[in-house]
Amino acid sequence: MSNRLFQNIVNEMKEIINREIGVIDDTGYMVACSNTVKNGDQMDEVLEKIEDSHTTVVLDERTYKPIIKKNRLEYIIYVSGADSEAEKYCSLIAVSVDNIKQYYDEKFDKGTFIKNVILDNTLPGDVAVKAKELHLQIDAPRVAFLIRTYDGNDLYVYDTIQNLFPGKTKDFVFVIDDHNIVLIKEVKSVDETEEVEKIAKTIVDTIHTEALMKLYVGIGSVVGNIRQLAKSYKEAQVALEVGKVFDTENYIINYDNLGIGRLIYQLPTTLCELFLAEVFKKESIDALDEETIITIKKFFENNLNVSETSRKLFVHRNTLVYRLDKIQKLTGLDLRIFDHAIVFKVAMMVKKYLDSNPIKI
């Protein structure tokens, strides 16, 4: 916060109460005083006696009031005099200074600005202007990570990620809600896919090891301009939602690796239902029993190789062929034919998508 702003407050208050007023920072430095000669004085003795106090303190005919946030001293306000009026004035000025400081910090804080950008709370035309005011590089490559936990201890996760990425000039961490935390990380270039994956793995491994908490990380695309951060954040959201449907075993889901799942997720549910009805004209996909579904999954996992699939399922080759023939009779699709296998694979994903009751972002 600008010392000039403190000085303006002090000067205005001096006109009202006609007493000497001063503001001392957490290092004991006099940042503003109605007696401008004292500006810049070092008040170490006052700091030693007051920094651990949470109430007004009277020293040498002055009343002091510390401003403390999160158990940390930020400023000390003083007013000349040791009477009850001095205590009242000191408390009122402390409240005014604290409120104005919060407003100033929120207005000019880089983290708040970045948060407003990704949530689309800043007009596109204002982004570059504000970025310059805050001395933020506009064209630096950055990526959004959306960290989601369902265990509820989001404050611990937030503090841990802050400690992992303490650089407040390039990296930003903030809470979205009770379950979601965002990390905006600057990387070396827009092609740093491997580095981005390593960062996500570091987050997951650290939280899993230290807190034994389940954590999911959605990764957006690396963008080259600060205006595109909202796009990267939305992609990280989509990555988590799509991963929740199609990739439930992974803790890290990269938007760039979603494949067909990303396409299906963007389709209207009515279109998905029509597709299933057209594919399964003979019988519904629900007519397939659990054993058949397991067989199909293994067949896909082994790249439509009958011999390898029968070996993995511990069944005779002829048994597998019988099951594939049965699937063909029920659905009209022969999974040994590549084009039929693709249609069936997509249909299974569409069915899984519809069963998940998708909520669009």
Q: What is the pLDDT of residues 74-110, one digit of tens each?
A: 899 999 999 999 999 999 999 988 888 877 776 668 8
User: What residues does each domain of the chain span?
Assistant: 3-107, 111-262, 267-355
- From the options 1.10.10.2840, 1.10.1200.10, 3.50.50.60, 2.130.10.10, give the CATH code of 267-355: 1.10.10.2840
- pLDDT value of position 189: 84
Torsion of CA 256, 259, 262, 263, to 10 degrees: 130
Task: Give CA–CA dist 47/66, Å, rounded.
Answer: 10
Mean pLDDT (whole number) for 17-32: 93
Share of the chain above pLDDT 90, in %: 43
What CATH superfamily is the domain 3-107?
Answer: GAF domain (3.30.450.40)
Position 130 pLDDT exceeds 90 = no
Q: Quick one: angle between helices 110-118 and 124-133, nearest 10?
A: 160
Whether the CB-CB separation of 31 and 18 falls below 8 Å is answered with: no
Domain covering 111-262, topology:
Alpha-Beta Plaits (3.30.70)
Mean pLDDT (whole number) for 250-277: 87
Position 119 pLDDT exceeds 50 = yes
CB atoms within 10 A of CB 154: 19
Position 360 pLDDT exceeds 70 = no
Mean pLDDT (whole number) for 143-162: 83
Position 226 pLDDT exceeds 80 = yes
Instruction: Tell me the pLDDT of the chain averaged across its residues.
Output: 87
